[in-house]
Structure 1
């Protein structure tokens, strides 16, 4: 495709080259996206093939999905095993997250925490700005957990969880709750699988909620964090986010801002 559009400036990098470098599409396909009006720069639709941008300061999205232009940023999802603490270096010598980051030369750190007895999805990144937003309590990113609990959880208990209960640090309610399975009948050996969706980042909140309604947690797994899903990722394995997952995460976080100091209050579940 011949570029007949005059350039606004000789500074910066051509938009189609930036999109190609970010892994969105080949340069030719990226040009088609631009001509079709599917690309925005700083919220403005751009249809000029000669448009140049500054990848360090300009915000780009395609079809409403944010694009990470800084290729040095890494986003990794880990299926954390039980028995591992959510820190990169544990001062007490317990198993920590370092073993899961050896495949990446960048220095990664965890966004939020899962307690040692909880397994499941944990996001690792070197993107401090995104991590600050996602970990900040006021942002309220949604998390989905599967809890194996003692006893037979009834519909009335599910209603109690969603309507709200009072804990020592204030009221709390699940965004959604449902019973997936019940085994062991009605006896003392009965257990239930409960799916809970929460946006709270309070300490060990799922365990405390289930204990309050009389169903202590036996096993707890986080299956989803915002738009990220654990899927079939084996326990103890880590992988980089796909371009689609990365875009969904960035789209979720853009428009929210918080300081690093305010973001220190991360959740521990």
Structure 2
């Protein structure tokens, strides 16, 4: 805090967090769309401590602490989900270093899987995203061998038996069939090791390319391999809502 010992005006904190201008923030407060620590606030003069108070707008958490950073990385093929490696393999470190912050990766992607990987220094957010009790969905696009028969979708959604227990897809869609190969999209909330590859192999369609395109409400979009972008404002609020923050 740097205004006084009583805190910073709520509309100023909201504007700094990217909610909107101070005027827009004042209008949101006056409309009863803002809560502080679970209490609806309608007076814009309310003072808050960004390091301690919890602010929601329309039910979505606003990240007030500017020390926190959460990024989407389109992890390239061949890069391992680690910050260092004794064997000299490519790591995440070059993508984190420019931020000047100590970021953690949320979950992991195998070196032969590319796509969306979250990086953050928000420990509580990272813990909840990785914890199985919150069942955060993950969506992949896979190129597989063979023409996918109609019954495969139902089989995956009902569940297949793997060596470490049953696994079930939430959604499964065939996007394209071509020359004894198919492109499919699969969504699930499990995070076991190589779970997508093992599930698809179990139904007779080994994976030849796998890309994660979404995690909860966060999508990869047009981000190119090796590029990052920050998750801010409403998008960050939607991610926090998924894990109860």
Tell me the TM-score normalised to structure 2 length. 0.95
Provide the residue aligned with 2:171 in structure 1: 176
Provide the residue aligned with 1:164 in structure 2: 159
SS at match of 2:134: coil
Distance in 2 separating the partners of 1:199 and 1:19: 32
Q: 2:145·2:207 contact (CA, 8 Å) conserved in 1? A: yes
Provide the residue aligned with 2:141 in structure 1: 146
SS at match of 1:202: coil
Distance in 2 separating the partners of 1:117 and 1:201: 16
Is the aligned partner of 1:239 residue 2:229?
Answer: yes
How many positions carry a matched residue from both structures?
A: 242
Provide the residue aligned with 1:250 in structure 2: 240
How far has the Cα of 1:103 moved from its partner? 2.1
How far has the Cα of 1:59 moved from its partner? 1.0
**Unaligned stretches of 5+ in structure 1?**
1-8, 185-189, 256-269
How far has the Cα of 1:25 moved from its partner? 1.4
Distance in 2 separating the partners of 1:49 and 1:192: 55
Q: Residue 207 of structure 1: which of 173, 197, 202 is its match?
A: 197
How far has the Cα of 1:253 moved from its partner? 2.3
Tell me the TM-score normalised to structure 1 length. 0.87
Provide the residue aligned with 2:214 in structure 1: 224
Distance in 1 separating the partners of 2:226 and 2:6: 45
**Unaligned stretches of 5+ in structure 2?**
none
Is the aligned partner of 1:30 residue 2:1?
Answer: no
Provide the residue aligned with 1:67 in structure 2: 62
How far has the Cα of 1:10 moved from its partner? 6.8
